[in-house]
């Protein structure tokens, strides 16, 4: 249940601050190799 609540909180926060999420997603793409990024997209 705790994981679900945390996940919902992340979703709500993502909807609240899109710029912050875009920055984090960009950092994730920078860390992961391109082939994996294509799979995620």
Total tally of structural domains belonging to the chain: 1
Residue 11 is encoded by which pair of tokens? 């979703």
CB distance 37 to 29 below 8 Å: yes
d(CA 21, CA 28): 10
Q: State pTM to two decimals.
A: 0.31
Provide the CA 23 distance to its chain's centre, in angstroms. Answer: 9
- Provide Rg for the chain, Cα atoms: 12
pLDDT of residue 14: 63
pLDDT tens sequence for the chain (41 residues): 455 667 766 666 666 667 777 777 777 777 765 666 566 55
Domain that holds residue 7: 2-40
pLDDT of residue 30: 74
């Amino acid at each position: 249940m705790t994981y679900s609540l945390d996940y919902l909180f992340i979703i709500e926060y993502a909807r609240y601050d899109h710029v912050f999420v875009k920055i984090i997603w960009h950092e994730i793409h920078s860390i992961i190799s391109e082939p994996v990024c294509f799979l995620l997209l």
